[in-house]
């Protein structure tokens, strides 16, 4: 199964491995799904993970490990078809990547611009909790 994560979910999941969002990222690392992402997301992850305020919650070693795994294991897609579903152009690019990569769903925390869409074409846009359910993941206690 292919799944797309918006960049904020990816960064949050990397920084919070014991929370639900982190379990979704861990499921990728464990090979439970193929991550679909764009080159721009790799660059954004690399850039943002180096911010001092982010380094406080996302150690360089963990960010580097995840970056290497994404480079090795993720399906990197640069979409050719523009999408105009969200008022945010960055969200449209993430949706286009997910569609181009045939992702089963896109996980987002953006309720105002992404979650509200629910579906774009064949792509479902889901919350972290919905993704946990779809992946059969249980929160840690």
In a domain, 49, yes or no: yes
**55 token code pair:** 């380094």
pTM of the model: 0.93
Q: Give the structural domain span for 40.
A: 2-135
Task: Write out the E strands in the chain.
Answer: 2-5, 34-37, 75-76, 105-107, 119-120, 123-126
- Percent of the chain surpassing pLDDT 90: 88
Whether 98 shows a pLDDT value over 90: the answer reads: yes
The secondary element (H helix, E strand) that includes residue 27 is helix 20-29
Do residues 99 and 107 lie in contact, with contact meaning Cβ atoms separated by under 8 Å?
A: no
Higher pLDDT, 80 or 7: 7
In a domain, 141, yes or no: no
In a domain, 107, yes or no: yes
Separation CA 140–CA 125 (nearest Å): 24
Whether 141 shows a pLDDT value over 90: the answer reads: no
Whether 81 shows a pLDDT value over 90: the answer reads: no
Whether 11 shows a pLDDT value over 80: the answer reads: yes
In a domain, 67, yes or no: yes
pLDDT digits (tens, 9 = 90+) for 28-38: 999 999 999 99
In a domain, 36, yes or no: yes
Total number of domains constituting the chain: 1
Q: What is the CATH number of the domain that holds 61?
A: 3.40.50.1010
pLDDT digits (tens, 9 = 90+) for 53-69: 999 999 999 999 999 99
Mean pLDDT of the chain: 94
In a domain, 118, yes or no: yes
């Amino acid at each position: 199964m292919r799944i797309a994560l918006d960049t904020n979910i990816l960064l949050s999941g990397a920084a919070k491995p014991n929370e639900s969002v982190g379990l979704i990222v861990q499921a990728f690392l464990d090979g439970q799904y193929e991550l679909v992402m764009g080159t721009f997301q790799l660059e954004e992850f690399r850039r943002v993970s180096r911010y001092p305020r982010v380094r406080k919650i996302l150690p360089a070693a963990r960010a580097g490990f995840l970056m290497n795994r994404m480079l090795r294991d993720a399906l990197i897609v640069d979409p050719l078809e523009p999408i105009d579903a969200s008022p945010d152009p960055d969200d449209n690019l993430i949706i286009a990547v997910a569609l181009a990569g045939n992702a089963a769903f896109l996980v987002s925390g953006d309720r105002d611009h992404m979650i509200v869409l629910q579906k774009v074409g064949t792509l479902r846009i889901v919350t972290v909790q919905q993704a946990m359910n779809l992946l059969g993941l249980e929160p840690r206690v």
